[in-house]
Amino acid sequence: MSPKERILEKTLILFHQRGYNATGINQIIEEAKVAKASFYQHFKSKEDLCVAFLNERHSYWFKQLEQFTSKEKEPKTKVLTSFDFLIFMNEKENFRGCSFLNILSEIPSDNTKILSVLQSHKQDLRVYFQNIIVDKLLSDHIYLLFESCIIESQLFKSNQLIEQSKEIIQTLLA
Q: How many domains does the chain have?
A: 2
3-state DSSP helix/strand/coil percent for the chain, to nearest 5?
75, 0, 25
* Same structural domain, 90 and 123: yes
d(CA 108, CA 46): 14
* Same structural domain, 105 and 29: no
* Same structural domain, 3 and 50: no
* Same structural domain, 32 and 104: no
Q: Taking the model in full, what pTM does it have?
A: 0.94
Measured at the CA of 171, the angle between CA 62 and CA 139, to 5 degrees, comes to 35
* Same structural domain, 80 and 140: yes
Question: What domain range is 82 assigned to?
Answer: 46-172
d(CA 70, CA 119): 25
Residues of the chain with pLDDT under 70: none
What is the tens place of the pLDDT at every residue in 61-78?
A: 999 999 999 999 999 999
| pLDDT at residue 157 in the model | 98
* Same structural domain, 7 and 72: no
What is the tens place of the pLDDT at every residue in 76-97?
A: 999 999 999 999 999 999 999 9
* Same structural domain, 55 and 28: no
